[in-house]
Amino acid sequence: MTSEPLDGPSRDQQVEFAYRIALRLLEARGRSEHELRTAMRKKEVPGDIADEVMDRLKELRYVDDEAFAESLVGNRVRVSRRGRTRIRRELQDKGIDRDAVEEVLAGLDPEDEWAAARAFAEKKARSMGRLERHVATRRLRGALARRGFGMDIVAGVSAEILGALGDERPDEVD
């Protein structure tokens, strides 16, 4: 018989287990510190072990909330075509510090946001068929607002896109 206690995994095993959880998540996509800590908590990793793993990941630069936020903002504007409000909410949901969120969003080029709104609105307007102008306007504005674009962008882009379609849409209800 051995004199080793049978109460569970050693500290080194717990650290390795938590480290693997984090790496597995990071392989799929970038994650915030909050997301990784939440995943470890769900797997019942003790707080001190999670702290040790997070320190190691930060030291290796696998976790950097500011870089993660900048990357996410760029992706959401260019690829997903989302606005500032929706991106802010998503970053806060991912546990990014409010000051860091505001700093990253301050660096967002308004022209990029307008271009994203325009691209989304053009695609959305094509799918509206031959709706009456007031219905198309209401739907397009709602879709842009749900994407997180500010009211100035919503009004400007919807007027621009629907104005470009001009006479193709009926103006009044029959």
Per residue in 70-123, pLDDT (tens digit) is 999 999 999 999 999 999 999 999 999 999 999 999 999 999 999 999 999 999
The neighbour count for residue 107, using CB atoms within 10 Å, is 9
Q: Is the dihedral of CA 99, 93, 66, 114 positive or negative?
A: negative
- Name the CA radius of gyration of the chain, rounded: 24
Rounded-to-10 torsion of CA 85, 62, 27, 25? -70
pTM given for the model = 0.80
Q: Is the pLDDT of residue 26 over 60?
A: yes
Q: Is the pLDDT of residue 172 over 70?
A: no
Q: Is the pLDDT of residue 169 over 80?
A: no
Question: How confident is residue 174, by pLDDT bands cut at 50, 70 and 90?
Answer: very low
From the DSSP assignment, how many helices (H) and strands (E) are in the chain? 9, 0
Q: Is the pLDDT of residue 165 over 90?
A: no
**Which amino acid is it at 105?**
L
